[in-house]
Structure 1
Amino acid sequence: MSASSDKFSDLAVRMSSAIVMIVVGVGAIWSGGFLFSGLVIAVCAALIWELLRMLGAAQPLALGLAGVGAASLVVAWVLPSNLSLLLLFVPAAAGVAVHPQHRALHAAFVVLIMVACMALLMLRTEGVAWILWLVAVVVATDVLGYFAGRIIGGPKFWPKVSPKKTWSGTAAGWVAAAVVGVLFIGVQGAGVEVVLYSVLLSMASQAGDVAESAMKRRMGVKDSSNLIPGHGGFFDRFDGMLGAAVILLPLMLLVGFPPILN
């Protein structure tokens, strides 16, 4: 088989996986309810498992802590009190207690995962449009940032951690997110604050991407796992989404997100 054929074979696998992810993701977002909640909880468990494996935990321990994470998220979501949000910190505390290696990395990333997943569950209760807004912000940030970085180039954002990212691409991502926010003012009847929130989430999305890249470089791994054929792991695909979603929880709790015009 030629090298060209090998490349096309890999492309077919990547495209097939992408189509499956899109169909499952869009279907769950549109349906909401148990289907969406179940998907978020499953992704939460997969992310924690990937993290523990990257940090050198044995398979049984990684699976066990993934189960703790999923169970904690379920209970925190079902209980009506905001005090239940404290349960989001249980998997991080449990991991620090039983896995002595890389405790700071473990605690930080597990809290990130748990808070982001809870925010996604809460955001879906505001309607499908706001989940689509979040996805649009992250995708626009990534896509426009990629092309602007390639076309404009210029100084690198953080060459030691992410050699391909440029300041031009980073700034272009903020502009793209602001445009998404402006569109939502007209389409969704949102307040003007949504533009600021869109840019804030864009920055958080980029931070999530850089944080995962830094962690993988430190651990000497290329992909977070091989759970998604042709794409690596869930962390590799959803690092930006995690970074953006984690900002949503304090927004919803503190400033009355989403901003809707009266």
Structure 2
Amino acid sequence: MMAQKWDDLAKRTLSALAMAAVGVVAVWLGGIWFAALAALACGVMLWELARMLSPTQTHLALTLAALGGGAVLLGRVLPGSLGYVGVAGPAMVGAALLMREKAVFAVYGVAITVAACGLVDFRVTHGAVWLVWLVLVVIATDVFGYFAGRMFGGPKFWPRISPKKTWAGTVAGWVAAGVIGVLFLTFTNAGRDLPWISMLLSLASQMGDIAESAIKRRAGVKDSSSLLPGHGGLLDRFDGLLGASLFMLLVAQLVYVPEVRF
């Protein structure tokens, strides 16, 4: 029984390390490298979403993937707010042509494309450090939540939607995110509010996970796809990053975000 609890650990760890390495390098390089990664991720996630919601429309899923990736790259080329011109395009096309769950695709599809375009613009405007912080908070939330949930078990956080997520894992994710915030205070000029902001970001990441779990339950599938060994699909791994990114982008519209330097 104990071995079964951890039977997916090796696959999860290797896949997570590979994705984290690619993501951090692309974030640090910025420019076309980060835009290309964001476009690819956006396209794959839209493909997975369409396949989950309407599995027989395979050609449409590929079309929506291409439109999503194109919208992100277009956003990098067009100046200022014009970069968001095509952000709703893939979601609206999907809502018009999918045979099932049109509203779900429209809402979640917009969220995916907005997050991808927004992160590319955020990297240009505010630099790499904030995005490295974002990625590390999401990873810490996921990893520590996974271990605490498996080790301690206990009451479920939201059993109707995500039966594996426990309160122990949820709180462990908040604590781990707060620690990431404290660590960033030691070698950057970020403000002292960063630890509790990191914990809010962790909560947003967990809500992103919950939202994707709800869609999978609605679609009657276990994973968004089988692209990643031990992880399922890209949406299964990036759902938390999606929630956290949208929260960070929203906050950036409401308050001043200072440039953070080492």
Aligned in 2, Cα 1:256/1:33: closer, same or farther, shift over 3 Å? same
1:245 and 1:60 map into 2 onto residues whose CA distance is 29
Q: Is the 8 A contact 1:194 1:259 kept in 2?
A: no
119-128 vs 194-203, greater mean Cα deviation:
119-128
Q: How does 1:1-262 map onto structure 2 within 5 Å?
A: 17-18=15-16, 20-57=18-55, 58-125=57-124, 126-258=126-258
Aligned in 2, Cα 1:41/1:223: closer, same or farther, shift over 3 Å? same
Aligned in 2, Cα 1:16/1:201: closer, same or farther, shift over 3 Å? closer
2:156 and 2:207 map into 1 onto residues whose CA distance is 15
SS in 1 for 2:87: helix
Structure 2 unaligned regions, length at least 5: none
15-24 vs 72-81, greater mean Cα deviation:
15-24
Superposed CA deviations along residues 62-84 of structure 1, whole A, max 9, x for unmatched, are: 11111111122222232223254
2:64 and 2:103 map into 1 onto residues whose CA distance is 16
Q: CA deviation at 1:86?
A: 4.5
Q: Is the 8 A contact 2:35 2:72 kept in 1?
A: no
2:17 and 2:206 map into 1 onto residues whose CA distance is 24
Q: Is the 8 A contact 2:54 2:99 kept in 1?
A: no
Aligned in 2, Cα 1:44/1:139: closer, same or farther, shift over 3 Å? same
Q: Alignment length, in residue pairs?
A: 255
Q: Is the 8 A contact 2:130 2:260 kept in 1?
A: no
Identical positions, percent? 51
One-letter amino acid of the structure 1 residue matched with residue 202 of structure 2:
S
Aligned in 2, Cα 1:199/1:72: closer, same or farther, shift over 3 Å? same
1:209 and 1:90 map into 2 onto residues whose CA distance is 24
SS in 1 for 2:221: coil
1:179 and 1:11 map into 2 onto residues whose CA distance is 23
Q: Is the 8 A contact 1:205 1:242 kept in 2?
A: yes
Q: CA deviation at 1:85?
A: 2.4
Aligned in 2, Cα 1:17/1:171: closer, same or farther, shift over 3 Å? closer
One-letter amino acid of the structure 1 residue matched with residue 49 of structure 2:
L
Structure 1 unaligned regions, length at least 5: none
One-letter amino acid of the structure 1 residue matched with residue 98 of structure 2:
H
After TM superposition, the score normalised by the length of structure 1 is 0.86
After TM superposition, the score normalised by the length of structure 2 is 0.86
Aligned in 2, Cα 1:183/1:21: closer, same or farther, shift over 3 Å? closer
One-letter amino acid of the structure 1 residue matched with residue 39 of structure 2:
I
Aligned in 2, Cα 1:153/1:227: closer, same or farther, shift over 3 Å? closer
Superposed CA deviations along residues 226-260 of structure 1, whole A, max 9, x for unmatched, are: 22244321111111111111112222222122465
Over the aligned positions, Cα root-mean-square deviation in angstroms equals 2.6
1:203 and 1:154 map into 2 onto residues whose CA distance is 19
Aligned in 2, Cα 1:80/1:252: closer, same or farther, shift over 3 Å? farther
